[in-house]
Amino acid sequence: MSLDCDLTVLEELTSNAKQIQDDVLTKILKANANTEYLQRFLQGSADKELFKKNVPVVSYEDVKPYIDRVANGEPSDVISGEPITAFLVSSGTSSGNQKIFPANNIFFKNIQIFYTLGSLVMSKCFDGYKQGKVIRFTFTHPISTTPGGLPLAPTVTSFTKSEYFRSLPKNSPSPYQIIMCTDAKQSMYCQLLCGLVQRDEVASVGAVFAAVLVQVIHFLENYWKELASNIRFGHVSEWITDLSCRDSVSTVLVEPNPELADLIENVCGKKSWQGIVSLLWPKAKCIEAIFTGSMAQYIPTLEFYTNNELSLVSLRYASSEAFFGLNLEPLSKNVSYTFLPNMSYFEFLDVDGGAEGEIVDLVNVKLGRYYEILVTNFSGLHRCRVGDVLEVTGFYNMAPQLRFVRRKNAALSVHLESTTEEELLKALARATLVLESSDLVLMGFTCYGDISTVPGHYVFYLELKSKVDNNITNVLSLVNKVLVECCCVIEESLNRIYRHFRSKEGSIGALEIRVVQEGTFGSLMDFFVSRGCSITQYKTPICLNSAEALKVLGDKVLARFFNDKSPTI
């Protein structure tokens, strides 16, 4: 597929989804039939029916020993006919453990196609997107090497470093060297500086995940005076010591611009930051970042920062295992991703009703059913569970459209109940409405099951911002009732089994909200980043269980609130 294609490519891909998936599987099996892994099940055959009959559905842990052998220096053909050229490290924020996945040029080429098609969808929806600049806050992680000598980095970093990224049309206000800088603070500062200097050309502001964008806005809260001063004098701060960042900024910040500095100071100096993004980037049409799944919690936050004037667009659904699909209706509030049949071979394990059922092909999924995705890709994964549960919401031509429902294993439990990520997020969304009615905006959320108390109870950590006063501590004493009400609303919307144990048996204690200081969720991100997670791929965990991560939050609690009623059954 060429990079100057148009949207007819999407029509072709989705109309011929069945044939394309068949071809993808044939190609993969031909390339991999003689790998050590597939030999065990197929004895060298590339037959598709035999593949489905004999090759087991696996989780990452099952194939890890094979992946590790290649990472440690054994030949690629332990798992892949195509040479493995890199390893991708997943964020590890959802599962708790970082995983490494093999990759090769086919993987990177697929990402390039994915980005190209995504830009076409955005250009169709938003006038001026194609001609404008797109701020996508991206942070490059240092690249390490596996014991076998292959590069090891998060997906976004590996792709950004590759020729496939560099040959995409350039539309970022920040020169490439700034995005490549591995010092996140210097990079973030310079990306903001370049974005502000070219504010009138910016058509979209975003990041891969919404959580990161919120952290960038926090950073701006701390640095706007300095950024404005740099713009006023046409000179970047001395603490930007990375030479390629300095040089690149000087190609953008070419002269003093006191008018722009005044404007930034006026806008950022306001008591409330409601609508700040729209004010700083007046031509922006949308915020482009993932807002589905655990990122849904940031919708009200970004609605506040854009004053509801910009569309919040979740465009892509992807992972380190495979790139899956694009949202072809960026303006719709009901986000579903249309799977692209050329990316990998996809199968779907029916998980409706809790039990695992039939496995079906991409084009055979049924409307309204819930599935876990299995990936067979060009770089050595065969029928591997991704751990995401999706619901089929429709079809675009022959390709299914799926809504992200939840991570499979993220659930909270303190007794015999189990509360899924989706249930927690629904409960949180209800509480958010209560917060909003009192001019409070949710900036960060996570929860954990505290079993150090008897009975155990759920703890929701919330970082809040007041719409009317930038200092949350000034208003906390006034909102006691609101937060107790939130505890109540959350418990009322949890499942029946939870409410039964809580109200009837008393085997679950009253739900607690702990409000933490502003910036706490930034510190939580820093904690995960210090453990090797990439900023770009960071996703705030919905449920925390690491004692060290909990300590980061525990040190910053401002106030605690409990439900004073038992939930109804």
* Count of chain residues binding ligand AMP (CB under 6 A): 18
Distance CA 144, CA 151 (A): 6
114 binds ligand AMP (CB under 6 A): no
**Residue whose entry in the numeric block shows the structure tokens 């008897």:** 454
386 binds ligand AMP (CB under 6 A): yes
| Minimum CB–partner distance for residue 72 and ligand AMP (Å) | 22
C-alpha dist (Å) from residue 444 to 54, 175, 226, 317, 460: 45, 31, 26, 22, 10
317 binds ligand AMP (CB under 6 A): yes
Q: Crossing angle for the helix pair 258-268 and 210-233, nearest 10 degrees?
A: 140
Q: Is 557 strand, coil or helix?
A: strand
Q: Of 216 and 405, which CB lies nearer to ligand AMP in the complex structure?
A: 405
| Minimum CB–partner distance for residue 387 and ligand AMP (Å) | 6
| Minimum CB–partner distance for residue 459 and ligand AMP (Å) | 23
Stretch binding ligand AMP (CB under 6 A), from 158-166, 279-287, 316-324, 459-467: 316-324
Stretch binding ligand AMP (CB under 6 A), from 21-29, 89-97, 108-116, 163-171: 89-97
Distance CA 408, CA 342 (A): 25
Strand 316-318 vs strand 557-562: parallel, antiparallel, or unpaired? unpaired
Q: Which residues in 292-311 contact ligand AMP (CB under 6 A)?
A: 292-293
Closest CA to 1 of 120, 150, 139: 120
Cα distance from N-terminal residue to C-terminal residue, the chain:
56
Residue type at position 67: I
493 binds ligand AMP (CB under 6 A): no
422 binds ligand AMP (CB under 6 A): no
**In this structure, what is the dihedral angle of CA atoms 116, 121, 127, 130, given to the nearest 10 degrees?**
0
How big is the chain by its Cα radius of gyration, in Å?
Answer: 24
Q: Which residues in 92-111 contact ligand AMP (CB under 6 A)?
A: 94
| Minimum CB–partner distance for residue 472 and ligand AMP (Å) | 28
Strand 384-396 vs strand 370-376: parallel, antiparallel, or unpaired? antiparallel
Q: Of 98 and 244, which CB lies nearer to ligand AMP in the complex structure?
A: 98
Q: Of 10 and 220, which CB lies nearer to ligand AMP in the complex structure?
A: 10
Eight-state DSSP code of residue 535:
S
| Minimum CB–partner distance for residue 373 and ligand AMP (Å) | 9
90 binds ligand AMP (CB under 6 A): yes
Q: Crossing angle for the helix pair 421-437 and 480-493, nearest 10 degrees?
A: 150
Each residue 389-408 as x (binds ligand AMP by CB under 6 A) or -, in order, gives ---------------x--x-
| Minimum CB–partner distance for residue 77 and ligand AMP (Å) | 25
Closest CA to 188 of 265, 267, 250, 249: 249
Residue number of the CB closest to ligand AMP reads 293
Residues 6+ positions from 530 with CB-CB distance below 8 Å: none
Q: Of 292 and 438, which CB lies nearer to ligand AMP in the complex structure?
A: 292
195 binds ligand AMP (CB under 6 A): no
Q: Which residues in 500-539 contact ligand AMP (CB under 6 A)?
A: 537
Stretch binding ligand AMP (CB under 6 A), from 239-247, 318-326, 436-444, 513-521: 318-326
C-alpha dist (Å) from residue 482 to 46, 436, 440, 487, 513: 62, 10, 10, 9, 11
**Residue whose entry in the numeric block shows the structure tokens 């990224």:** 165
State the residues that interact with ligand AMP by CB under 6 A.
90-91, 94, 155, 290, 292-293, 314, 316-320, 386, 388, 404, 407, 537
